[in-house]
Amino acid sequence: MSDASDTTDAADASTATGAADAAPVDDPLLAVRGLDAGYGDLQILSDVDLDVADGEYVTIVGPNGAGKSTVMKSVFGLTHVFGGSIRFDDADITGAAPESLVHHGLGYVPQNENVFAGLSVRENLEMGAYVLEEFPEERLVDVYDRFPILEEREDQRAGTLSGGQQQMLAMGRALMLDPDLLLLDEPSAGLAPDLVDDLFDRIDAINDSGTAILMVEQNAKEALRRCDRGYVLVQGENRFVDTGEALLADDEVRKQFLGG
Ligand SMILES: Nc1ncnc2c1ncn2[C@@H]1O[C@H](COP(=O)(O)OP(=O)(O)OP(=O)(O)O)[C@@H](O)[C@H]1O
């Protein structure tokens, strides 16, 4: 974990003992500061700070109901923000609508219902680019390169794909706009264990080609193994922040959140 002497003003906002510097990145692509957010009148997140640098791979782990998905939804304009700010690429996007965020270079793959089941694979991918005046053929080629099964099945209805293929399609759709930051909410949920590694490899490859990733995962050990930095969120607050490697090695994190 980071030394306490590292703490900045933003980190001072962290409430839990042992919280490291939650905002350690110079000139971050995404900067969440002091975020209080939730649904209707219900506040779920308290004073959350989170950074993602350009090209960085950041993961959020933590117990069920901690508010991990709520962080992602807040970044994508899908919650009620009570306080704090969200900046992306030097613009204040706090409370901005999802339609405007995709223009800004933000892609979001929700955990559930993330494909149009009644449309074909190709139509789903076309929907991913609907905000553009001209269809980006080169993006389709890139997505088919990353996920060849989607090209093989381009005329098949998305609802008939397997869970893993639907997840690839959802990611492919978000990649059609070549986002600078891709938000992935539990991409491995519901996948057979032998498919999970393959999916994580593909996410690594997306990151290797320059797209920053912010990912929520239940599969915490694997996610921390692969990411640059991780946040452990508990009851709507940052509890630990560090490199994935340091979090995996931390006794308290291991004992409390990674099953020993
Ligand atoms: N649309 C909603 N309206 C009201 N409360 C909600 C809504 N969505 C989530 N919540 C509540 O917000 C809290 C945090 O949920 P969230 O899905 O962000 O947690 P999570 O850490 O992602 O959990 P999990 O790992 O189980 O997906 C939970 O108590 C949940 O019941």
pLDDT in tens, 145-162: 999 999 999 999 999 999
Site to substitute for ligand 1 among 35, 36, 39, most atoms within 8 A of C-beta: 39
Reference 235, options 1, 23, 68, 18; nearest CA is: 68
> Ligand 1 site: residues with CB under 6 angstroms?
39, 42, 44, 62, 64-70, 218
**Backbone phi, psi, residue 15, to 5°:** -100, -25
For residue 4, what is the DSSP state?
G
pLDDT > 70? residue 241: yes
Residues 6+ apart with CB under 8 A from 177: 102, 105, 107, 128, 129, 131, 132, 136, 139
Q: Residue 2: what pLDDT?
A: 37
Reference 229, options 211, 214, 219, 218; nearest CA is: 214
The Cα 9–Cα 70 span in angstroms is 24
Q: Residue 25: what pLDDT?
A: 75
Reference 66, options 217, 221, 225, 260; nearest CA is: 217
Residues 6+ apart with CB under 8 A from 108: 72, 75, 76, 98, 101, 174, 182, 183, 185
The contacts found for 47-50 with CB under 8 angstroms, 24 or more apart, are 47/13, 47/14, 47/15, 47/84, 47/237, 47/238, 48/22, 48/84, 48/233, 48/236, 48/237, 48/238, 49/10, 49/11, 49/13, 49/14, 49/22, 49/23, 49/238, 50/22, 50/23, 50/214, 50/231, 50/238
Q: Are 242 and 228 in contact (CB under 8 A)?
A: no
Percent of the chain with pLDDT over 90: 77
Q: Residue 8: what pLDDT?
A: 38
The domain segmentation of the chain, as residue ranges, is 1-105+220-260
pLDDT > 80? residue 38: yes
Question: Which ligand 1 atom minimizes the distance to the CA of 236?
Answer: 14
- Atom 28, ligand 1: which residue's CA is nearest? 65
Q: Higher model confidence: residue 23 or residue 240?
A: 240
- For residue range 50-62, what is the model confidence (pLDDT) as tens digits? 999 999 999 999 9
Which H helix or E strand runs over 171?
helix 163-175
The per-residue pLDDT of the chain, averaged, comes to: 89
Q: Residue 4: what pLDDT?
A: 35
Q: How many CA atoms lie within 13 A of 201 on its CB side?
A: 7
Site to substitute for ligand 1 among 35, 43, 44, most atoms within 8 A of C-beta: 44
| Span of 1-10, 38-47, 129-138, 187-196 with lowest mean pLDDT | 1-10
* Per-residue confidence band for 6, with pLDDT thresholds at 50, 70 and 90: very low
Q: Residue 1: what pLDDT?
A: 39
Q: Residue 22: what pLDDT?
A: 61
Q: Residue 109: what pLDDT?
A: 96
Question: Which ligand 1 atom minimizes the distance to the CA of 186?
Answer: 27
**Backbone phi, psi, residue 230, to 5°:** -135, 150
ipTM: 0.97
Which H helix or E strand runs over 224?
helix 220-226
Q: Residue 12: what pLDDT?
A: 37
- Atom 10, ligand 1: which residue's CA is nearest? 39
**What's domain 1-105+220-260's architecture?**
3-Layer(aba) Sandwich (3.40)
- For residue range 7-36, what is the model confidence (pLDDT) as tens digits? 333 333 333 334 556 666 788 999 999 999
- Atom 23, ligand 1: which residue's CA is nearest? 65
Q: Residue 24: what pLDDT?
A: 66
pLDDT > 70? residue 229: yes
| Cα 72 to middle of ligand 1, angstroms | 11
- For residue range 77-132, what is the model confidence (pLDDT) as tens digits? 999 999 999 999 989 999 899 988 988 899 999 988 889 999 999 999 999 998 88
Model confidence, pTM: 0.90
